[in-house]
Amino acid sequence: MALKLLSKLRIQNLQIARYHHRLLAVTRLFSDRPVSNLSTTDDSKFIIKNKPQTTTSSLKQHELAKFAAISDTWWDSEGPFKPLHVMNPTRIAFIRSALCRHFSKDPNCARPFEGLKIVDVGCGGGILSEPLARMGADVTGVDAVEKNINVARLHADLDPETSTIEYCCTTAEKLVEEQRKFDAVIALEVIEHVAAPAEFCKSLAALAYPGGATVLSTINRSMKAYATAIVAAEYLLHWLPKGTHQWSSFLTPEELVLILQRASINVKEMAGFVYSPLTGRWTLSDDISVNFIAFGTKDEMGTNFSVKSALLFLGILLNLAFKTKAGSIVIYWGQDGREGTLTSTCASRKYGIVNIAFLSIFGNGQKPQINLAGHCNPSSNGCQKVSNDIRNCQNQGVKVMLSIGGGTSGYTLTSDAEARGVAEYLWNNFLSGSSNSRPLGDAILDGIDFDIEGGERYYVVLASRLSELSRGGSKVYLTAAPQCPFPDNWLDKALHTGLFDYVWIQFYNNPQCEYNTNNPRSFKDSWNRWTSSIPARMFFVGLPASRAAAGNGFVATDVLKSHVLPFVKGSPKYGGVMLWNKYADDQSGYSSRIRDSV
């Protein structure tokens, strides 16, 4: 297969094997021109001329006029730029993660971009430039619309942290003429508004130091994008002024990567943005069918598009196509102050779901109490700072749950009424309800995890009431962590309701159903019984992340990858692996060793 691929790759005429869906369309790289004719077709929109242009020819004058007309609304979060304001935290999360990895910066510190020179091309009113400055970057914001720059300057001057931003009414091409250089070049939602994307990208590349970073985002030229970004956003929902976007100006991910490669920018990472009307939030996703963002690096040798970079590009698209078939890793966080912050946990990109552990006291007439051992003191409202961490995680596409229960005796439910009361407490204090004393601040968690090791009767009522409260509003995920012996002593009735989305079965501290290399049958029988009997959406193999994390049940990573995962992946309801806990995972590196196999 590799030889066949290599034989099809050409420096001037890229042809890549046929795949489906989000990969290259059959025998076509560009949706409107056959690959075989790429070298003979009028492709001036994409091919870079040998002589760099030093004018503003990459700009569309009618696009400049369009944005000038609404320039005074840039900082109105309910105005024409509302979609950008809502998307901004997710865009920033991607940029923060990508740049910190590339420049070896600490993503958890307050000013991770200290010492970096960043240019925000097409900065508009500065809604991205200002967060970059607050993260310590030396920011230059450029825009060809003078009214935009005036608005940006006025707003930046309101805050000493942002008043240092250099705003210029100019273009990327002019900055190249001035021989300006930056560590990172960012152009978000800009390329779809320029007349010559290839020339524009060459200018971006010229602005970056060798080895520097480039981040671009845009909209895919797909029918789904036409339906959502134009028909729905502009004509039905009126999120954007009519005529904001032209479908013919959108670029597919394949086209964007090819243009960037020819400009000596090697794309390293790509992600999609997905909007949830239920939560009103954007999250990072593998779905690049509408909005997507790409991170690349400037080739230090300044070489042009090559077979090597084409293979890298193919690898990125293959990864995006098949990643959705893989499972996720779930981690429990909150029971060891040495495990790092919730933000750092999610920024590691290892986990798809984080369970905050635990709300360990509730029921029996007690006031519910959360215990985040070593992290914060909820009795003095000290845990409300976790709110920003929760949002940071959600902006990166990580679901965050509150786990109730745990291995203590501080909880029980004594009646239907008490179960409903606890459900309403959870709704008002951690989910979409309202309360003046939310222990984790105003962030809205994604759901509730039942880690119950005592009682049984009233958890059906608790789960049912949570489900009732979420009807017609934001989706509330219900998850559970039963012991592997079937049926579970405490959650059996609740699990049979069909209300639970995910179940991570604890295959540890229970020798009768743990994985044993000498007798794997008991594990397999338990897994099969759980997945065939409980009407949940997905099931996860729950394991200790180190030998010290549990009394028994630890499975070595090589055994997990060679024996356990091949078996459980045969289930149509396979969801991934749950690990107890974050600190143990930090010490063992368990998740890093298995994540490519999960």
Model pLDDT for residues 137-152, shown as the tens digit of each residue: 999 999 999 999 999 9
Do residues 368 and 361 lie in contact, with contact meaning Cβ atoms separated by under 8 Å? yes
- The answer to which of 293-302, 424-433, 544-553 has the lowest mean pLDDT is 293-302
Domain range annotation of the chain:
2-323, 328-594
For residue 17, pLDDT over 60 is answered with no
pLDDT class of 277 with cuts at 50, 70, 90: low
For residue 305, pLDDT over 60 is answered with no
pLDDT class of 359 with cuts at 50, 70, 90: very high
- Side-chain-side CA neighbours of residue 259 (13 Å): 23
33-42 contacts, C-beta under 8 A, 24 or more apart = 38/13, 38/14, 39/12, 39/13
- The CATH code of the domain at 2-323 is 3.40.50.150
Question: What gap in Å lies between CA 332 and CA 11, rounded to an integer?
Answer: 48
Question: Going by C-beta distance under 8 Å and a sequence separation of 6 or more, which residues neighbour residue 391?
Answer: 89, 443
110 or 256: which leads in pLDDT: 256
For residue 388, pLDDT over 80 is answered with yes
Residue 189 marked as a ligand binder: yes
590 or 104: which leads in pLDDT: 590
Question: Can you give the three-state secondary structure of 209-248, one letter per residue?
Answer: EEEEEEEEEEECCCHHHHHHHHHHHHHHCCCCCCCCCCHH
Residue 177 marked as a ligand binder: no
* Single-letter code of the amino acid located at 230: I
Radius of gyration of the chain from Cα atoms? 26
* Single-letter code of the amino acid located at 135: M
Do residues 258 and 46 lie in contact, with contact meaning Cβ atoms separated by under 8 Å? yes
Q: Give residue 234's pLDDT.
A: 73
Q: Give residue 317's pLDDT.
A: 57
168 or 40: which leads in pLDDT: 168
Q: Give residue 303's pLDDT.
A: 46
Question: What is the fold, at CATH topology level, of the domain defined by 328-594?
Answer: TIM Barrel (3.20.20)
pLDDT class of 311 with cuts at 50, 70, 90: low
The residue behind tokens 């524009």 is: 200
Residue 255 marked as a ligand binder: no
Question: What gap in Å lies between CA 258 and CA 294, rounded to an integer?
Answer: 12
Q: Give residue 52's pLDDT.
A: 37
Question: Going by C-beta distance under 8 Å and a sequence separation of 6 or more, which residues neighbour residue 348?
Answer: none
Do residues 185 and 119 lie in contact, with contact meaning Cβ atoms separated by under 8 Å? yes
Q: Read off the pLDDT of each residue in 383-406 and give the average, rounded to a whole number.
A: 92
Residue 375 marked as a ligand binder: no
Residue 122 marked as a ligand binder: yes
- The answer to which of 64-68, 85-89, 381-385, 537-541 has the lowest mean pLDDT is 64-68
3-state percent helix, strand, coil for the chain, nearest multiple of 5? 35, 20, 45
Q: Give residue 412's pLDDT.
A: 93
Question: What gap in Å lies between CA 475 and CA 503, rounded to an integer?
Answer: 17
pLDDT class of 447 with cuts at 50, 70, 90: very high
Nearest CA to 125 among 68, 173, 172?
A: 68
- Side-chain-side CA neighbours of residue 185 (13 Å): 29
For residue 316, pLDDT over 80 is answered with no
Q: Give residue 323's pLDDT.
A: 46
Q: Give residue 557's pLDDT.
A: 98
Residue 468 marked as a ligand binder: no
Mean pLDDT: which of 92-106, 225-239, 311-325 is highest? Answer: 92-106
> Residue 51 is encoded by which pair of tokens?
């002589």
For residue 154, pLDDT over 80 is answered with yes
| Sheet of 265-276, strands arranged across | 166-169, 138-143, 117-121, 182-188, 208-219, 291-298, 265-276, 281-285
> Residue 485 is encoded by which pair of tokens?
């012996």
- The answer to which of 39-48, 250-259, 396-405 has the lowest mean pLDDT is 39-48
Q: Give residue 511's pLDDT.
A: 97
The whole-chain average pLDDT of the chain stands at 84
For residue 433, pLDDT over 70 is answered with yes
Q: Give residue 69's pLDDT.
A: 67
The burial class, CB within 10 Å (0-12 / 13-18 / 19+), for 432 is middle
Q: Give residue 572's pLDDT.
A: 86
For residue 434, pLDDT over 70 is answered with yes
Work out the number of other CB atoms within 10 angstroms of the CB of residue 247: 15
3-class state of residue 481 by DSSP: coil
Nearest CA to 592 among 386, 380, 348?
A: 348
Residue 188 marked as a ligand binder: yes
Work out the number of other CB atoms within 10 angstroms of the CB of residue 79: 13
Q: Read off the pLDDT of each residue in 329-345 and give the average, rounded to a whole number.
A: 96
Do residues 162 and 137 lie in contact, with contact meaning Cβ atoms separated by under 8 Å? no
pLDDT in tens, 21-42: 222 222 222 233 333 333 333 4
Q: Give residue 314's pLDDT.
A: 57
